[in-house]
Structure 1
């Protein structure tokens, strides 16, 4: 009876061997980051960014593999991943749009820009277009207060936006994506 009770109260654990899950390129890039840090777990955010650059987002399996490679507690790495708003814990589109919703952007007409983007893409915050091209997210501040309203797509910042200029950027990216798909 004791063993059955103990079995019912056990917790399943997940173990991912980083060597079979992560690519050689990911491991090499993460180990490079570790080499310039004081401790292995200090490379947590950089390791997350490396894997996300290769895979587009951080799945649970990716999180477990990085945790294994860095020999750090999964809960600590999850805390880093969920705190940093540029780490995506669910699949995102090819282009991730961060629309700044700081007070400066609000004062400079951010809402009209946001409405134009939502209408153009037919999505709301947290959603991805049906074709998988665009994901729309808010961002508390992009550091462009003197050039508001602003958005960031990938690593590129777009400033002094109007509804028309924001839509033009997205149309240009969509056209670029279609040209890339044909090559």
Structure 2
């Protein structure tokens, strides 16, 4: 159940999009930016407010690969496994991220919700292969050692924030 503050956040997103049904993708992007995923309650709320079916909202949410119905960590690490990255050894980099964070193919988010590690088919930065992103910031020419250092740096930044 959404609390008053969450409803006000969602209302703000809807207002900024003029309650326009045709802006459903933009609305969902804004919600995902806020929560790092699409909470079920938020999707039900916007369906009601936009006067469209929940089925329609869910069909959009599940059609586009960039939308997530599962909570993600504060830092979303995407490792490219497209052809250029794969032949330049992206799998050892993926394995290093997983090992450093205690994750696996099945468990993609840390228990403290700090990190999510995913693979993607292509990040569109083939000339920089192997490449990964953290919250959409590109890290080119990755190696397992650079992956280890990046995780260490991100953990230190989170410690400094607290």
TM-score of Structure 1 vs Structure 2, range by shorter chain:
0.7 to 0.9
Query: For the pair shown, which has the larger CA radius of gyration, 1 or 2?
Result: 1
Q: TM-score, length-normalised on structure 2?
A: 0.87
CA 32–143 in structure 1, closer or farther in 2 if over 3 Å, else same: same
* 8 Å CA contact retained: 1:26, 1:54: no
- Alignment RMSD (CA, Å): 2.2
Cα distance between partner residues in 2 of 1:30 and 1:101: 36
Asked if 1:70 is matched to 2:50, the reply is yes
Q: How does 1:8-87 map to 2 (within 5 A)?
A: 22-34=6-18, 40-87=20-67
CA 34–84 in structure 1, closer or farther in 2 if over 3 Å, else same: farther
Cα distance between partner residues in 2 of 1:87 and 1:34: 22
Aligned residue pairs: how many? 161
Long gaps (5+) in structure 2: none
Which of residues 92, 95, 104 is equivalent to 2:72? 92
Give how far 1:98 is off: 1.3
* 8 Å CA contact retained: 2:10, 2:46: no
SS at match of 1:131: coil
Cα distance between partner residues in 2 of 1:136 and 1:173: 14
Which of residues 82, 85, 89 is equivalent to 1:105? 85
Give how far 1:32 is off: 1.9
CA 107–81 in structure 1, closer or farther in 2 if over 3 Å, else same: same
Asked if 1:179 is matched to 2:160, the reply is yes
Matched residue, 1:131: 112
Over 4 Å off, 4+ runs: 18-22
Cα distance between partner residues in 2 of 1:82 and 1:138: 18
SS at match of 1:93: coil
